[in-house]
């Protein structure tokens, strides 16, 4: 059954950001930190992204959900500079930008925490946090400064279960490793932190730790974009939800506009006939 992404379908659907106007949906200040307009990505004959419009405001957690193959990973790789979009525009704080490499993204303030975390198990927490941007003192590594800053960063993120920052990362639990990966993103004064399936491999208490970390980031004014399969986690931490289906961004809006049933329907069919109980549909 063909599904269209036009909001002019007769179904009730939550408006996309493009229609509501850039400032229409988010309750915070005017311009979202990052806006995508008409972003498409083609790999040969495969259309991975189709004209995606998305707003990511700072100080809020945006959850990107969708089935496997819907284009979530492609979308974040486009934002973080690994792919350049085939079409479309990216706006950072209202101005158009071109992100051609991970370095460009890092310079804007975009940090990505990949699913495999990209940590070196044979190095300790301090060494991982500073990997690639070590502090030096006359050419030599300034271990003391790096160690002190690491301790402070972990404290600011309320990571309390790590006993020594000189522990090898390979000996940490899954939740602690996530925390280290997130701390590394935060230390770069990132303004947008993207996390790909951060709780996928974690148990209950570790998941709670990571979700708490995500909320702490948002409370500090950082924009967080989280990809997750786990709708429970999504609804416990997200301020906004964006749903992808077969390369289209079929729906986005405040998390209050969605519930589990409508989310599942959007994920699997691209449309929903339901609305969350507290909001009337807009058209």
The answer to whether 173 contacts other proteins (rule: CB under 8 A) is: yes
Contact region with other proteins (CB under 8 A), list: 52-60, 63-71, 139-147, 252-260: 139-147
Detail the DSSP E strand segments found in the chain. 34-43, 46-56, 61-66, 87-92, 95-97, 110-113, 136-137, 140-141, 192-196, 223-227, 240-245, 248-254
Q: Please give, one letter per residue, the 3-state secondary structure of 263-279.
A: HHHHHHHCCCCCCCCCC
DSSP letters, 242-266, are EEEETTEEEEEEEGGG--HHHHHHH
CB of 241 vs other proteins, minimal distance in Å: 28
Question: Which position among 115, 158, 160, 171 is part of the footprint of other proteins (CB under 8 A)?
Answer: 171
Return the number of the residue (95 or 138) whose C-beta is nearest other proteins. Answer: 138
The answer to whether 133 contacts other proteins (rule: CB under 8 A) is: yes
Helix (H, G, I), strand (E, B) or coil at 131: coil
Looking up tokens 């589990």, which residue turns up? 260
Contacts with other proteins, 88-127, as mask; x by CB under 8 A: --------------xx--x-------x-x-xxxxxx---x
The answer to whether 134 contacts other proteins (rule: CB under 8 A) is: yes
For residue 73, give the H/E element and its range. helix 72-79
Return the number of the residue (114 or 235) whose C-beta is nearest other proteins. Answer: 114
Contacts with other proteins, 58-77, as mask; x by CB under 8 A: --------------------
For residue 234, report the phi and psi dihedrals to the nearest 5 degrees.
-60, -50
State the residues that interact with other proteins by CB under 8 A.
102-103, 106, 114, 116, 118-123, 127, 131-134, 136, 139-141, 144-145, 147-148, 161, 163-164, 166-167, 171, 173
């Amino acid at each position: 059954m063909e599904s269209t992404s036009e909001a002019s379908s007769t179904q009730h659907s939550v408006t996309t950001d493009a229609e509501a106007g850039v400032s229409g949906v988010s309750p915070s200040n005017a311009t979202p930190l990052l806006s995508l307009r008409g972003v498409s990505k083609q790999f040969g004959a495969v259309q991975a992204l189709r004209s995606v419009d998305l707003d990511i405001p700072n100080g809020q957690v945006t959850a990107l959900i969708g089935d496997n193959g819907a284009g979530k990973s492609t979308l974040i790789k486009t934002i973080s500079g690994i792919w350049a979009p085939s079409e479309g525009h990216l706006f950072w704080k209202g101005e158009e930008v071109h992100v051609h490499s991970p370095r460009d993204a890092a310079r804007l303030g975009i940090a990505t925490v990949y699913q495999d975390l990209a940590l070196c198990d044979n190095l300790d927490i301090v060494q991982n946090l500073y990997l690639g941007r070590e502090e030096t003192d006359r050419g030599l590594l300034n271990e003391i400064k790096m160690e002190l800053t690491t301790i402070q960063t972990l404290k600011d993120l309320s990571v309390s279960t790590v006993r020594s920052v000189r522990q090898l990362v390979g000996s940490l639990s899954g939740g602690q490793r996530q925390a280290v990966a997130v701390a590394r993103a935060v230390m770069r004064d990132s303004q947008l932190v993207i996390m790909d399936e951060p709780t996928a491999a974690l148990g209950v208490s570790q998941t709670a730790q990571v979700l708490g970390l995500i909320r702490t980031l948002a409370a500090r004014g950082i924009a967080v974009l989280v990809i997750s399969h786990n709708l429970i986690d999504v609804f416990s931490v997200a301020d906004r939800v964006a749903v992808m289906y077969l390369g289209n961004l079929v729906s986005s809006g405040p998390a209050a506009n969605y519930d589990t049933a409508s989310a599942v329907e959007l994920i699997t069919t691209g449309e929903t006939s339901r609305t969350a109980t507290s909001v009337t549909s807009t058209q």
